[in-house]
Amino acid sequence: MSIALIILAAGKGTRMESDLPKVLHRIAHAPMLWHAMRAGQVLEPGRTIVVAGHEADMVAASAQAYDPEAQIVLQSEQNGTAHAVAQAAPALAGFNGDAIVLYGDTPFIRQETLEEMARARAHHDIVVLGFEAADPGRYGRLVTEGDALLRIVEYKDANEDERAITLCNSGLMAADATVLMDLVAQVGNDNAAGEYYLTDIIALARARGLSAGVVHCAESETMGVNSRSELARAEVSFQQTTRARLIDDGVSLQAPDTVWLAWDTVIGRDAEIEPNVVFGPGVTIESDARIRAFSHLEGCHVSRGAIVGPFARLRLGAELAEDSHVGNFVEIKNAYLGEGVKANHLTYIGDADIGDRSNIGAGTVTCNYDGVFKHRTIIGKDAFIGSDTMLVAPVTIGDGAMTGSGSVITSDVPAGALGIGRARQETKAGFATRLRDMLRAKKKEQNKG
Ligand code: UD1
Ligand code: MG
């Protein structure tokens, strides 16, 4: 059966004290909205509908950057969660199947939980995700009788007995899309907040003879983010969970608390991550690779057996083949390093292709930028680039070629050739001794005066 995701993301998030809409604040480099959208992917949604309101253009652009097929509907005034869901009606035209309502500011919902909600639909017309709250605070309360959910009462409207209930509403719901749209259209705003509450659909559904039930999740999954301090806590929580998952999956983290992961970091089994490594978005590390201490990686791929760092920086488009080595104070951007390539010390490689087994000497720089255009450096297999070579791109170094240390290479070096471009050395016998004697004599003269 096909499923539609309806993601509520119209709210402003006043307490964030920010010009950025709340759902676009990032956790592990991805907007919170993406975390919610990603969780929903497990249901293989036929449609994804994002309800935007505050800064709708920004929210729409971000949603479509994640999923170009996401449909955006506008809720120009935030009149409540039922009103928000009702805006999805046109986008659901012709859709047959279930709809599931998610919040854009609740990034930690687990995929397993969403699957459980989808399964529970076999037993109930409406499924609500609830949790036992340590401190129920202002959450909506779930009023149940045995297996059945009778209604949801918002805190503001609840009496003392209802406020004593600790089973709370996460906000997530699943129902047949047509039924859901019918129900939200019926919701009124005669309540303490003067809002159209999505939570009212439970009582409305039961009045029609439909059933409602609860799926339970851990409170941590429904953690919402309403302020900067909650965002900071959410980041820590994401990091801890993700580190623990990687460790369970067979990755070695020597000092887990010092490794910072991105929302999409992929690390293979038996890879080793030393302390103080930072992953930006878009990194994949294959099995048996080793990322040494204090390295920073983003938008790159590291193959099996490669060694990176300590103190290396891999930027967007760095692609390291098997058993390649990238050492300290080496920066690599938009470049392919073939199998067994070594660039071990103090080097910048940008916009380059380096063939298998080539060695890049200390201090080598690809001079890839002329102030206007970027140019490529091509190095063949088994080449040897002498220390402190400046490779002025565009330039090609052939298979097995060499460059002399300290060369500025401005033209191609064919296969098997040596390219050398530096001033020829002159050696002046005794000159150093004479010069030093002269300078010392001068200093003595000055000290007298
Ligand atoms: C809601 C629930 C409450 C539940 C709590 C869980 C209702 C009436 N109440 O309350 O039972 O315990 O969530 O966190 O549903 N939004 C819109 N448009 C609107 C209003 C809200 O898009 O007009 C979005 C918000 O951006 C947010 C989500 O819906 O992502 C929830 O809205 P919020 O105002 O936080 O609802 P709560 O009062 O927390
Ligand atoms: Mg809320």
Report the alpha-carbon distance of residue 128 to residue 147 in Å, rounded.
12
Residues in the chain: 449
CA distance 449 to 439: 16
Distance 171 CA to ligand 1 centre (A): 7
> Which atom of ligand 1 is the closest one to the Cα of 196?
8
For residue 80 and ligand 1, the question of a CB distance below 6 A is answered with yes
Q: Whose CA is nearest to atom 8 of ligand 1?
A: 197
Is the CB–ligand 1 distance for residue 359 below 6 Å?
no
Q: Is 289 in the pocket of ligand 1 (CB under 6 A)?
A: no
> Which ligand neighbours the alpha carbon of 81 most closely?
1
Tell me if 214 CB under 6 Å of ligand 1: no
In this prediction, residue 123 has a pLDDT band, given cuts at 50, 70 and 90, of: very high
Please choose, from the candidates 277, 342, 286, 287, the residue with its C-alpha nearest in 3D space to the C-alpha of residue 313. 277
What integer pLDDT is reported at residue 13 of this predicted model? 87
Facing residues of 379 across strands?
A: 354, 397
Atom of ligand 1 nearest to the CA of 197: 8
Q: Is the CB of 83 under 6 A from ligand 1?
A: yes
Give the ligand 1 atom nearest the CA of 105.
30
Identify the band that residue 337 occupies on the pLDDT scale cut at 50, 70 and 90: very high
140 CB less than 6 Å from ligand 1? yes
Ligand nearest to the CA of 12: 1
* CA–CA gap between residue 257 and residue 266 (Å, rounded): 17
Say if residues 168 and 129 touch (Cβ distance below 8 Å): no
Burial per residue of 412-436, b for 16 or more beta-carbon CB atoms within 10 angstroms, e otherwise: ebeeeeebbbbeeeeeeeeeeeeee
- What angle, 0 to 180 degrees and rounded to 10, lies between the N-to-C axes of helices 111-120 and 32-40? 50
DSSP-derived 3-state class of residue 34: helix
Distance 95 CA to ligand 1 centre (A): 25
> Could you tell me which residues are beta bridge partners of residue 126?
175, 212
- Residue 60 sits at φ, ψ, to 5 deg, of -60, -45
Average pLDDT over residues 381-401: 98
84 lines ligand 1 (CB under 6 A): yes
Q: DSSP letters along 80-113, please?
A: -HHHHHHTTTGGGTT--SEEEEEETT-TT--HHH
Give the pLDDT confidence score for residue 91 in this predicted structure.
Answer: 98
Answer yes or no: is pLDDT of 269 > 80: yes
105 CA distance to ligand 2 middle (Å): 8
Q: Spell 345-360 as b/e; 16+ CB within 10 A means b.
A: ebbbbbbbbbbbbbbb
Q: Average pLDDT of 386-393? A: 98
- Contact at 8 Å (CB) between 402 and 383? yes
Least confident of 11-20, 46-55, 408-417: 11-20
152: nearest Cα among 211, 98, 198, 220: 198
For 193-259, give the DSSP string. T----GGGHHHHHHHTT--EEEEE--GGGG----SHHHHHHHHHHHHHHHHHHHHHTT-EESSGGG-
Q: Look at residue 12 in the predicted model and tell me its pLDDT.
A: 85
Label residue 290 by pLDDT band (50, 70, 90): very high
Whether the per-residue pLDDT at 1 is higher than 80: the answer is: no
The answer on pLDDT for 449 being more than 80 is no
Question: Is-contact 333 351, C-beta < 8 A?
Answer: yes
| Residue 280 near residue 315, CB atoms below 8 Å | no
| Locus of tokens 């119209």 | 10
- For residue 254 the two structure tokens come to 């020597």
Active-site residue numbers?
345
pLDDT tens per residue across span 133-150:
999 999 999 999 999 999
Region 269-294: what's the mean pLDDT? Answer: 98
Contact indicator for 172, 43 with CB cutoff of 8 Å: no
Average pLDDT on 404-433 reads 98
User: Is any atom of ligand 1 closer than 6 Å to the C-beta of 196?
Assistant: no
Give all domains of the chain, ordered by start, each with its CATH number: 3-222 (3.90.550.10), 228-419 (2.160.10.10)
Q: Compute the distance from residue 3 Cα to the ligand 1 centre, in Å.
A: 22
Mean pLDDT across the chain, nearest whole number? 97
Q: Which of 81, 126, 154 to mutate to test the pocket of ligand 1 (most atoms within 8 A of CB)?
A: 81
Sequence-ordered list of residues with C-beta below 8 angstroms from that of 184, at least 6 positions apart, any chain: 82, 83, 85, 86, 196, 198, 201
Residue 262 CA to ligand 2 center (angstroms) comes to: 25
Q: Is the per-residue pLDDT at 218 higher than 80? A: yes
284 has a pLDDT exceeding 80: yes
User: 146 CA to middle of ligand 2, Å?
Assistant: 27
